[in-house]
Structure 1
Amino acid sequence: MVHCPVGPRANISIYHPSNQTDKMSPLSVFTIFLHGSFSSIGILENLFILGVVGFHVRRSVISIWILNLAASDLLATASLPFFTLYMARGNTWNMGTTFCRIHSSIFFLNMFVSGFLLAAISMDRCLVVLRPVWAQNHRNVQLAGRICGVIWALAVVFTIPFYVFRDTIVQPNGKIQCYYNYAQFLPTEPFDLGSLCKQRKEAFAFMKLFLSFLIPLLIIILSYVAVNIGVARRGYRRPFRFVRLVVAVVVSFVLCWAPYHFFIIMEVIAPTGHPAQRLAGQALPISATVGFLNSVLNPILYVFSCPDLCKKIRHSLGAVMESVLAEDLAELARRRSTTHSSISTTEIVLKERSSLTAFCLKGEAREKNESDANPAEN
């Protein structure tokens, strides 16, 4: 199989882990710990959100956004244990080429879906504030559902190249890496393999940067700036909770994904063997892990910041606890009733036996007295 030419310090894996030795560095151990923590928290958190919003909250536009965001985040966090296992095995992939492609594609699918959904939510809030009449007439659950369908379809289309060019590559040291193989689908005309691989690598990096980060970030910022200007012109007072939510959304999105894209671009544009490329290779594992933190923060920012949903969550938790306690109390009452019935039955039997014994004794005494009174009959 043809592979792209790589330098002696090239880092090849899903997130370019630089550790190629059997002994894990403290950074690798810390990264594995973060992956495990984010995976556990994210799975439980998003499952809880899906359960509460999906079954205990009336369908609305906001709930549609939240359900799709939680589904994407759950998909991403559910894939983390497999990569944690990959890192714990010394950065070698033993789960096959097909699952390598699927697992890697989930990471990029979540990246696109999260960015698109955050941009859609920002635009939705902008329309509600700036065009309330239009929003009242056209904003509904069906439209939000169709938009989410388009978002998922676009994310799948943009993820296809990352799936197609993913492959398992056996390294000289015997390790199997799950990484891009840009030397696939080669043109028929003469070409330079090194230049072709470099062009494809740059195209993939900038595609991720613009489509999943810069464009959604620009939409988010412009939407909230427009909302801020519109509210100020109307003389309304901006609630502190709204301002805090806006700042949290933008800051968390930037802090979670900016390091990953920054080091991806650095690794791409830096010359082979340059210190900047080595730095990017060492920083990309932890920066990709921080990117997954966005899947843990999203439910907090978009669900727990909504008072109505918080009430639903508290009500749901209260209902669950009441149900558990009611079942426990019912079981306790049943046991007490059974025990009391058993005691009562025992007492009745003992009383009946006692009465029967007394009756028999009285009969025997009466017969003896009669026998003593009529000795002739004996």
Structure 2
Amino acid sequence: MFCSVSMKGNISSIPSNQTAKMTSLNVFTISLHGMFSTIGIIENLLILGVVGFHVRRSVISIWILNLAASDMLATCSLPFFTLYMARGNTWTLGNTFCRINSSIFFLNMFVSGFLLAAISLDRCLVVLKPVWAQNYRNTQLVGRVCGVIWAMAVVFTIPFYIFRDTIVLPDGKILCYYNYAQLLPSEPYDLGSLCKHRKEALAFMKLFLAFLIPLLVIILSYAAVNARLARRGCRRPFRFVRLVIAVVVTFILCWAPYHLFIVIEVIAPTGSSAQKLAGRALPIAATIGFLNSVLNPILYVFSCPDLCHKIRHSLGAVMESVLAEDLAELRRRSTARSSISTSEMVLKPKNSITNMTLNTEVQEHD
């Protein structure tokens, strides 16, 4: 059983003739998703490998590592979303994995917003409270902050995990979507009103906690930094600040459409053209949200020449290591063969001398 209020807008937003249209479009869309997924996984693995093992541990590297870890989770969940589209927008991987896969999407949304807000506050404190930053800002503190961020993101993701479900439609398709008619209260209630309140609560929770509040913190932090630097007559900012600004702008462009259409779907009257438009646009907006996890590693590389150099150096070191191991193996085998050949050459003369001596002794005895 699912709440008709929560699903009516979404089901009505998919016209009966849309399936035919989607089959021609899906070839390109699915290929694009597959490409995004492959590129994103490779990129984030490179960032995690290089920053994790080849960059000196610092406050900046810890921020980047946590962002890359969140993006890695999102890009790893993208192939299953691609499979969902490839099978005609029907979910075939079971209820539990539907909840897990969807929760990873929301977890990445919360972690990205919280981390970007924390990074902005960090830069603000460095400029406004340099003495405090010098004394207390270290990798241990930042590591603990990142741990708290991940814990908060997990807590806020729990409701999305609980209310996610697989729903069989009349046409046989299986949706991996919200089912608000779960964990019903024991006292009397109106199911339609309850589902509507739950839907609104989750939508505005995402909007405020994962987007608007982090965005406000980011804007205020950089406004304070710019004001202080302007008063000091200092040049604007470091290379890392350029990276943060690029990541933040990408975050806004990628996530704003998703939250906009979620709000439209919630507040628009049931069955209205606005709600139907939001229902059609949400899958595309979710794809753009996934794109944020693919673009972030590119921004790290192009905004940080040192990181780009590290990646090239690391890849070169890996190739050199592989080639060195192959050469060492070839040399070892060649040395072993040479030693065997030498031993045979040494043994042959010895055997010949022994045979000649034995023959001589036999002849003398005869």
Would the aligned equivalents of 1:4 and 1:182 in 2 still touch at CA under 8 Å? Answer: no
Alignment of 1:175-190 (within 5 A): 175-190=173-188
- Residue 342 of structure 1 deviates from its aligned partner by 7.4
Alignment of 1:1-378 (within 5 A): 1=1, 3-5=3-5, 10-11=10-11, 21=19, 24-239=22-237, 241=239, 244-302=242-300, 305-334=303-332, 337=335
Distance 2:285 2:160 in 1: 19
Distance 1:118 1:242 in 2: 13
Deviations 1:114-170 (CA, angstroms, capped at 9, x unpaired): 110111111111212222211110011111111111111111111111111111111
Q: Secondary structure at the match of 1:95?
A: coil
Would the aligned equivalents of 1:101 and 1:163 in 2 still touch at CA under 8 Å? Answer: yes
Gapped runs of 5+ residues in structure 1? 360-378
- Residue 190 of structure 1 deviates from its aligned partner by 3.8
Q: Secondary structure at the match of 1:202?
A: helix
Distance 2:291 2:83 in 1: 18
- Residue 319 of structure 1 deviates from its aligned partner by 1.9
- Residue 327 of structure 1 deviates from its aligned partner by 2.4
1:245 partner amino acid: L
Distance 2:252 2:233 in 1: 30
Distance 1:126 1:277 in 2: 40
Would the aligned equivalents of 1:7 and 1:272 in 2 still touch at CA under 8 Å? Answer: no
What TM-score, normalized to structure 1? 0.83
Structure index of larger Rg: 1
- Residue 246 of structure 1 deviates from its aligned partner by 4.6
Distance 2:14 2:319 in 1: 45
Would the aligned equivalents of 1:22 and 1:90 in 2 still touch at CA under 8 Å? Answer: no
- Residue 347 of structure 1 deviates from its aligned partner by 8.2
Bigger fraction of residues in helix: 2
Would the aligned equivalents of 1:263 and 1:284 in 2 still touch at CA under 8 Å? Answer: yes
Deviations 1:187-209 (CA, angstroms, capped at 9, x unpaired): 34443322222222121111111
Distance 2:77 2:147 in 1: 22
Distance 1:213 1:316 in 2: 35
The alpha-carbon distance between structure 1 residues 146 and 246, as it changes in their structure 2 partners (threshold 3 A), is closer
Would the aligned equivalents of 1:31 and 1:285 in 2 still touch at CA under 8 Å? Answer: no
Distance 1:120 1:227 in 2: 14
- Residue 181 of structure 1 deviates from its aligned partner by 1.0
Distance 1:143 1:346 in 2: 67
Would the aligned equivalents of 1:248 and 1:301 in 2 still touch at CA under 8 Å? Answer: yes
Would the aligned equivalents of 2:73 and 2:104 in 1 still touch at CA under 8 Å? Answer: yes
Distance 1:84 1:261 in 2: 21
Would the aligned equivalents of 2:41 and 2:72 in 1 still touch at CA under 8 Å? Answer: yes
Deviations 1:309-335 (CA, angstroms, capped at 9, x unpaired): 444333322321221232233344445
Gapped runs of 5+ residues in structure 2? 357-366
Q: Percent identity?
A: 76
Distance 1:347 1:276 in 2: 90
Distance 1:338 1:6 in 2: 73
Would the aligned equivalents of 2:229 and 2:236 in 1 still touch at CA under 8 Å? Answer: yes
Aligned residue-pair number? 358
Distance 1:48 1:39 in 2: 14
The alpha-carbon distance between structure 1 residues 189 and 338, as it changes in their structure 2 partners (threshold 3 A), is closer
